Amino acid sequence: MPYEYRRMTPEERAAIVEERRRRGYPLHSPPHPYRETGWYCITAANYEHAHVMASPDRLTAFEDQFLSELIGIRAEIGGWVILTNHYHFLVGVQSLEQISALLKHLHGSTARAWNLEDGLTGKRKVWYKFCDRYIRNERHYYHALNYIHYNAVKHDYVESPYEWPWSSVHLYLDTWGRQGLREQWVKYPIGDGWDYGD
């Protein structure tokens, strides 16, 4: 949305802001209408989708840190994929505030570390705000999980989800096997998207 907003006319921008005001959303940031216990699909991207996490070492370190911090808050981890400029996590939490605090810390610490490594301290914004989607039911959950596992293919990083190392698909492969995963793909296809769990 921030990229589209920049291309809008002043009238279009005013209409969007008025619609957000009418719905009770924050005027210039993603709404987080659900706050209760449950499952969420969490997404965040590097600012302007720059490929800040492009190195394998950085991807691995980010994956390790994120998983460790989720375990630290006793979140249930349903699935994840980390690409070179964004990530998706499917997590079960007691409240969205837990995730907000965790991401503030995670994004702050990684931005500082990477800007120091790249000699860009004070010159580069690394993260944009995160988005969350409350998972409404089992069908929605599995659509989201399949979308997450297919994401590296969707963005042309690899031809098969199994080729991308920074994904939970490998844990599911070990548990369910290829046939079990194939059955989940057929039962919960992602089609044009994943966000249609009703």
Q: Cα-flanking dihedrals φ and ψ of residue 89, to 5°?
A: -130, 140
Give the chain's domain count.
2
Q: How far is CA 42 from CA 18, 32, 92, 102, 183, in A?
A: 26, 11, 10, 12, 25
Tokens 């302007």 label which residue? 48
Does one domain contain both 16 and 77? no
Residue 193 has pLDDT above 70, yes or no: no
Residue 193 inside a domain? The answer is: no
Q: What is the mean pLDDT of the chain?
A: 87
Rounded Cα distance, 93 and 36, in Å = 8
CATH of the domain at 143: 3.30.70.1290
Q: Is residue 198 one of the residues assigned to a domain?
A: no
* Domain that includes residue 10, residue range: 1-30
Predicted confidence (pLDDT) per residue in 5-61, tens digit: 566 687 877 776 676 566 555 544 454 444 578 999 999 999 999 999 999 999 999
In a shared domain, residues 24 and 36: no
Q: Which two tokens stand for residue 55?
A: 């190195």
User: Do residues 53 and 75 share a domain?
Assistant: yes
State the Cα–Cα distance between residues 52 and 86, nearest whole angstrom. Answer: 9
Cβ atoms of 178 and 186 within 8 Å: the answer is: no
Do 94 and 57 reside in the same domain of the chain?
yes
Same domain, 148 and 138: yes
Q: How far is CA 110 from CA 19, 121, 180, in A?
A: 34, 12, 36
Report field, pTM of the whole predicted structure over 0.85: no
Do both 40 and 8 map to the same domain?
no
Paired strand residues for 81:
88, 167
Mean pLDDT for the stretch of residues 160-189:
95
* pLDDT digits 0-9 by tens, 85-118: 999 999 999 887 888 899 999 999 999 999 999 9
The answer to whether residues 1 and 93 belong to one domain is no
pLDDT value at residue 129: 85
Report whether 188 contacts 127 (CB < 8 A).
Answer: no
Q: Are residues 16 and 36 in the same domain?
A: no
Please state which of the ranges 91-105, 113-127, 136-150 shows the lowest mean pLDDT.
91-105
Q: Do 69 and 12 reside in the same domain of the chain? A: no
pLDDT confidence of residue 76: 95
